[in-house]
Structure 1
């Protein structure tokens, strides 16, 4: 058997593209501001072992050394099926951070069993950090969220997602990364740009403010020009802050439609309606470009907050009430193969 016929072992690190192989003798735990070696006692009960491993991390070999030392969640490396990498792309004012926070909060509040999915944290520490710094401030305290990082991309939150309709199918690790197109265009290195090759699904977020601007943002174009193999990837376009158009057809119709299990006919109908609506504003075809270039694509409307913020304060005028924040997530799970029902396999095609 030739080397090219041998399947690679381990999983591909989304940070540096190295192959990471699980070694239970080399596990790490983040404690007191540093990574410390984790030793799982040989006499630990199955429940004790499971609890320890939920917090464990695996150090990436970082073969080329282009990035600082980094670690991956244990479940990302140990899962029996390939992880799914999701990239959030959008201009700073698109509301993508708020949308992701509303999405995770909606999962926490509503669950996904009605959609034949089960979700748990990929990494307990990271999940709790995202909840405490993003989800709870937005949903409980009606606060605006600020992006503080100036990195090309950041890991935001990870989930373990199970398809309840396929009990024999192992859970999939799903990792969400926030991609900064504006930083990528100016300071991104070739190795940082290579991250885009690891992405399975893209969440392109834009707002009415973006569409109505006489000078369209170039974030989408920057990312799209660097992504290869788009026909093998999935993309969901989301018109965020759709409450600003809540009295305009067809936005009003789809906002009222609520969250539905991924149905190819319904997704196609919404995509067609919104494509026609967005085309009225998107004269340069900036925001519709992903729909044309990806093998599987859909368009949704959603609102992370359901209302406006105070002009001079970093809070919202009314209690935050997300609208359809879960719909893009469900469509992505279908389009990336995490949800494997017969109907889901046709979504976005």
Structure 2
């Protein structure tokens, strides 16, 4: 039997999936060590043993440091690979932390969506480095240089099954290195879902008519022949700054985890975001809606309030962080049905 070809989400190389040596992370040793599965005829017990195992990526191009891939990737349908794109300090890291926290704690249950870690080692690191500090009211640092791997890897279950969902977040400045084919933005070439993040502060200051970081990301994506068909969302972050402005106020008061899914809700919100961006002259962010065959637009605040001296002394109160993610899950086929099929159209 021919081994299936898998695309590594870290190095973007394709390789035949072969499990010749299973590995497991050892916190005591600080590295991956070989593990021998215990013989068992119980498929549930075997699945439990393998759930925490990895293989070493053969890294055919040898242009990325040694890395490891969860065994679950070789046993699952093709993953949804979501890339977050935006200017520095737009709030991408806070958004991703709030989205992942909401998803794994069951806030999307009403929509029939649950999630669990697919890469336990990376999820634990993401939780320690992003989710826990945010929940303590700390302002997160922007994504630093040198990050070439994914931020988190979840297994998202819907009524039709379970599918890997992999999140990439990279520092805004890394999109400026297109002339050098930056490894830190190479993940874009393997994304099949895009989340463009714009800063409401920049929009209100009327400095968001263009966005060189998004422009450079789109330039890198220019080699992707099916770019227009990639499902996309436009997220107007820090929308709490517009919370008393119509129609933003209406949307921020609505829960984003209610069910069932209604496609017209996404269309109506997209219309209102489009109008606000047009009102403030944020032409580039507005025009993203027309660049893609399926696209939605959302009012979002990852923290609910502005930071005070790099902290949130009264805690964070995420607003509508799940909505753009739910839209992408519908547009990538994780969520199915007549309503999901109309989201973004």
Query: Above 0.5 in TM-score?
Result: yes
Which runs of no fewer than 5 residues in structure 2 stay unpaired? none
Q: Which moved more, 1:108-117 or 1:172-181?
A: 108-117
How far off its partner does 1:20 sit? Answer: 3.5
Tell me the number of residue pairs that the alignment of Structure 1 and Structure 2 aligns.
334
SS at 1:221 equivalent? helix
The change in CA–CA distance for 1:267 and 1:278 in structure 2 (over 3 A counts) is same
Pairing partner for 1:136 from 126, 132, 136: 132
Corresponding residue number in structure 2 for 1:108: 104
Pairing partner for 1:293 from 291, 295, 299: 291
Please provide the CA RMSD for this pair.
Answer: 2.2
How far off its partner does 1:215 sit? Answer: 4.5
Corresponding residue number in structure 2 for 1:93: 89
Cα distance between partner residues in 2 of 1:44 and 1:315: 52
Do the aligned partners of 1:22 and 1:78 also contact (CA within 8 Å) in 2? Answer: no
Matches within 5 A, 1:93-242: 93-139=89-135, 141-151=136-146, 153-164=148-159, 166=160, 170-186=161-177, 189-190=180-181, 192=183, 194-213=186-205, 215-216=207-208, 217-227=211-221, 228=224, 229-242=226-239
Cα distance between partner residues in 1 of 2:170 and 2:281: 22
SS at 1:225 equivalent? helix
The change in CA–CA distance for 1:290 and 1:76 in structure 2 (over 3 A counts) is farther
Corresponding residue number in structure 2 for 1:304: 302
Cα distance between partner residues in 1 of 2:4 and 2:242: 49
Pairing partner for 1:42 from 39, 43, 46: 39
Corresponding residue number in structure 2 for 1:265: 264
SS at 1:92 equivalent? coil
Cα distance between partner residues in 2 of 1:189 and 1:78: 35
TM-score by structure 1 length? Answer: 0.88
Pairing partner for 2:336 from 333, 336, 340: 340
Do the aligned partners of 2:83 and 2:187 also contact (CA within 8 Å) in 1? Answer: no
SS at 2:176 equivalent? helix
Which runs of no fewer than 5 residues in structure 1 stay unpaired? 1-6
Do the aligned partners of 1:57 and 1:73 also contact (CA within 8 Å) in 2? Answer: yes
